[in-house]
Structure 1
Amino acid sequence: MKKILCLSVLLGFPLSAAYSAPPKKVHQLPAQSIDVLPAHLTTRIQWAKFPQPNYSNEDLNQKSRAAIIRVFADENGNVQEATVEESTGIQRLDQMLVRAVEKAEVKPHIEGGKPAPQIGYQAFNLKLTDKNAGNCAYEFNSKVWQAQQNEKRTAFQYLQQPALQLDAEQLNGHDRTVKFSFKADKHGGVKKIKIRQGSGIYALDQTVAQALSGSQISVKRTARTLWLYKQSSFKDEIQFKLNRCP
């Protein structure tokens, strides 16, 4: 009887020990979080490379048009999405504007020391050109361009006169001056345009910047100026006088 009792106790011991053993520790990885900044909302997009839609009177269907394009750009300024917020009324013309925006580049927005994606809107006013009316139109006769034409010494030269589309109505009855600066890549391509002193009319300032975008300059290469393209800003200004309208 005693042997049976001892055997029962021995058989029950491992089972009791198993139940009394402390639970194993489960190692959990620390929680990880990804710091993603929300898209910055703006009504005025700062462009590094402006949209440049090419259109004709036929594209406008013989009528001035306006449109607003919604733009989403990533933290690097690359346009990821462009959609029509307000249409010109012509689908083909809308798509022309969308493609122009997709090829453009937005100046990165810095928030909290980090670049952030952006969502904004770009308005377009597409004006019908009346070739028979003799409209008063201004060309890109900036301070540097005029000095260049007179063979005066300048810090840089435009390889070609930037194409400007501006008429007297856009001056809104006053003389206007736009002062600007920009940088250039190693090939002389104009980039990072900045309006230093605006005309007081945002659309006019953008028109000047659009004319500059895609332009090229040349700088006389010397030992002193080999680094100019990357480290220096080039300055210029342009005046629009009502009494000097061609």
Structure 2
Amino acid sequence: MMKTSLYITLLFGLSATHLYAKPPQQKPTPKATLEVQKSAALPAHLTTRLAWRKFPQPKYKNEDLNQQNRAAIVRIYADETGKISQATIQESTGLKKLDDALLQAVRTAEIQPTYVEDTAVPTIGFQSFNLRFQDNQHEDCQFDFQSKQWLAQQQQQKVQFKYRSQPQLNLSAEDLKNHSRKLKFQFKVNKHGEVKRVKLTQGSGQYALDQQVLAAVKAAQVDVPRQFWLYKKSKLKDEIYFDLNTCDAQEQS
């Protein structure tokens, strides 16, 4: 009888120990640990040409330039996802109000993430800004996204693909540096119509202008006919022309 009681007590003790034992902590997988170690070990990527996902759009008026052209260089630090975490003035416009406007615009912008050995790393880069004082009739002339495909789409013409909505773009004659500009580009989309890769095939001659257009395309969504995927597995192409002469037409109207 004593042996039986001892056996039952032992079983109860083992069950209680199992019931109240602290559950084992789940360790991170070796792959996740390795990725964190690799990202932490790799230094920030330094570049003088940033690839923008969302280009800075500084807000200022022509009179803020105080009757002359202004230029500045902003030093930018972005994290692994492309979000701007730090922005400082490397070379000033000479006007604090303008410098602050540039910094505010940069902090709300985003760059394309940088990868080293298939691992996303922080990016340190520099972006120059050239703000031209407008003393002519083109001061208030604005340009939006009026590409060849978009115009054909609006005219109900047969097109290779359709933008779901007009890509967001707001340029001035100042951005064109008082010259008409033309760009050609091609891009790929996934099955959801999201733009995944954009390549410039003909630049405008103005790097900042090119980056603003590419950023607008990257944020766009398109619809592609099913037969295009079946028989024409190539890149989508488009082009856009900014005609400064349209500013003169606007002034006369």
Verify: 1:236 aligned to 2:241, yes or no. Answer: no
Render the CA deviation track for 1:37-89: whole Å, top value 9, x for unaligned.
10111010111111111211233234321111000111211111000001111
Q: 1:56 maps to which residue?
A: 61
Counting matched residue pairs gives 204
Whichever residue aligns with residue 92 of structure 1, its letter is: K
Distance in 2 (CA, whole Å) between partners of 1:187 and 1:53 is 32
Q: 1:8 maps to which residue?
A: none
Verify: 1:170 aligned to 2:177, yes or no. Answer: yes
Q: 1:39 maps to which residue?
A: 44
Verify: 1:88 aligned to 2:93, yes or no. Answer: yes
Kept after mapping to 1: 8 A contact 2:134/2:174 = no
The 3 A distance-change label for structure 1 pair 184 and 57 is farther
Distance in 2 (CA, whole Å) between partners of 1:34 and 1:129 is 51
The 3 A distance-change label for structure 1 pair 147 and 99 is same
The 3 A distance-change label for structure 1 pair 194 and 104 is farther
Q: 2:30 maps to which residue?
A: none
Distance in 2 (CA, whole Å) between partners of 1:197 and 1:171 is 19
TM-score by length of 1: 0.64
Q: 1:159 maps to which residue?
A: 165
Task: Spell out the pairing of 1:116-155 with structure 2 (5 A cutoff).
Answer: 116-130=121-135, 132-134=136-138, 139=143, 140-154=145-159, 155=161
Q: Give the SS at the match of 1:170.
A: coil
Q: 1:68 maps to which residue?
A: 73
Larger radius of gyration: 1
Kept after mapping to 2: 8 A contact 1:63/1:127 = yes
Verify: 1:109 aligned to 2:114, yes or no. Answer: yes
Distance in 1 (CA, whole Å) between partners of 2:172 and 2:196 is 20
Structure 2 stretches lacking a partner, 5+ long: 1-33, 228-233, 249-253
Render the CA deviation track for 1:175-232: whole Å, top value 9, x for unaligned.
753122457899989786542432344234234336x279755648x8x59xxxxxx9
Render the CA deviation track for 1:129-178: whole Å, top value 9, x for unaligned.
33x53569673432123213322233123634732224697376xx7531
The 3 A distance-change label for structure 1 pair 99 and 242 is closer
Structure 1 stretches lacking a partner, 5+ long: 1-31, 226-231
Q: 2:203 maps to which residue?
A: 198
The 3 A distance-change label for structure 1 pair 243 and 102 is closer
Kept after mapping to 2: 8 A contact 1:48/1:191 = no
TM-score by length of 2: 0.63
Q: 1:5 maps to which residue?
A: none
Whichever residue aligns with residue 100 of structure 1, its letter is: A
Whichever residue aligns with residue 133 of structure 1, its letter is: Q
